[in-house]
Amino acid sequence: MNKAELVEEIHVKLGGTKVAAEEALKATLESITDALHNGDSITLIGFGNFSIVERKERMGHNPQTGATIKIAAKKAIKFAPGKALKDAINNKKPAKKKPAAKTTAASATKPKRKC
């Protein structure tokens, strides 16, 4: 899927105009980029985590000449998928949440009986 196809998918799911869908995608990507540039990590529960890792300087070799070269230190982006994304990829159904026990006004005011 490329950017145009993703914009179309957003447009179909959310309605509105394609321009609005493209602006939403652009704003999301810019926000993620800015956060990573500032050294922040991004956690999207269920989808995954984006973070920055530092790669140390290391020695490597040129595969054509075999010469040893120094590979500079750099920052890299790390993505760790969330459980919901992993489950979706592996065709697992998401776990259903159990509904919370409801307390009615009548049951909340009744004294408990002793047996």
Helix (H) or strand (E) holding 75, with range, is strand 74-81
State how far the Cα of 113 lies from the Cα of 106, in Å rounded to an integer. 14
**Rounded percentage of the chain residues whose pLDDT exceeds 70:** 81
The CATH number of domain 41-90 is 3.40.50.620: no
pLDDT of residue 80: 96
Cα distances (Å, whole numbers) of residue 58 to 18, 34, 75:
46, 28, 13
Q: Global pTM?
A: 0.67
Q: Are 81 and 47 in contact (CB under 8 A)?
A: yes
Parse the chain into domains and list their residue ranges.
1-40, 41-90
- Per-residue pLDDT tens over the stretch 79-90: 999 999 999 999
Q: Are 16 and 53 in contact (CB under 8 A)?
A: no
| Location of structure tokens 């984006």 | 50
Query: Given a cut of 70, is residue 98 above it in pLDDT?
Result: no
Cα distances (Å, whole numbers) of residue 23 to 29, 34, 43:
10, 16, 22
pLDDT of residue 84: 92
